[in-house]
Amino acid sequence: ADLFERTAEELAPHGLSCECLGGGRLSHRPEERKIHVYGYSVGFGRADHAVTTEKLKAEYPDYEITWADEGY
C-alpha cells in the first residue's frame, strides 16, 4: 500500500492516475538468478502473477522466473 500511495502521489501532478490490480510478493535470489512471484496483498487482493512473471521475464531474460498463488 505504501508503494502504491507514493506512486499515485508522484503521478497526480502530471494529471495521471493509477489503479492497483492486486499485490503479492517476490523472492529474489540474485546469486542463483531466480525470482519467484507468490502470495497476495491483504488490502488489494491477489495480482495476476502470470502477467507479473511475463513482465519480469522480458526484463530479466537470463533469470528463472516462477510463480504460485500460494503463500503470503
Report the b/e string of 29-61 with b at 16+ CB within 10 A: eeeeeebbbbbbbeeeeebebeebbeebeeeee
Task: Give residue-wise pLDDT tens across range 17-50.
Answer: 999 999 999 999 999 999 999 999 999 999 999 9
Distance CA 67, CA 35 (A): 8
In a domain, 13, yes or no: no
**For residue 57, is it within any domain?**
yes
Q: What is the pTM of this model?
A: 0.81
Q: What is the 3-state secondary structure (H, E, C) of 13-34?
A: HHCCCCCCCCECEEEEECCCCE
Read off the pLDDT band of 70 (50, 70, 90).
confident
Q: How many domains does the chain have?
A: 1
State the residue range of the domain holding 64. Answer: 22-68
Q: Give the domain CATH number at 59.
A: 3.50.20.20
Name residue, grid cell 531474460.
61
Answer whether residue 55 is part of any domain: yes
Asked, for residue 41, whether it belongs to a domain, the answer is yes
